[in-house]
Amino acid sequence: MMNQIHVQRLDHIALDVSDVSAARSFYGGLLGLKEVPRPESFDFPGLWYELGNAMLHIVAPRQPAIGKHHIALWVDDVHASADVLTHAGYEVDWERTKIPGIDRYFTRDADGNLIEIQGREQAP
């Protein structure tokens, strides 16, 4: 009998949204994630995106609980990504605990889901 589960990898993250179109604009448009087909057995609105070794599942329509749950994404240029989001009308919050060697900020998608964006630290 096993007494411990051995997790091999993150499979997916699921977020509830109220507007699939707004989610597609944010995740597929601004963040540039690759949308992939969902199984035909899913008879409710939603989107799936590739996240490297994992998937992001968007489920709608629902009212999300706004809390500290979040996804974290690594980007090539964290400061340029913040500019893109700011220009699109999203707030970015750099005021978080510093992680040595990493620059990061937090934003929220159109439904208020918390998104952490990280990248290699850049000299000031």
**Which runs of consecutive H residues, i.e. helices, occur in 1-124?**
20-23, 78-87
* CATH class for the region spanning 12-120: alpha beta
**20: helix, coil or strand?**
helix
pLDDT tens profile 63-106: 666 666 789 899 989 999 999 999 999 999 998 778 889 999 99
pTM for the complete prediction?
0.76
pLDDT tens profile 7-28: 777 889 988 888 999 999 999 9
At residue 93, the pLDDT reads 95
pLDDT of 2 over the 60 cut: no
**29: helix, coil or strand?**
helix
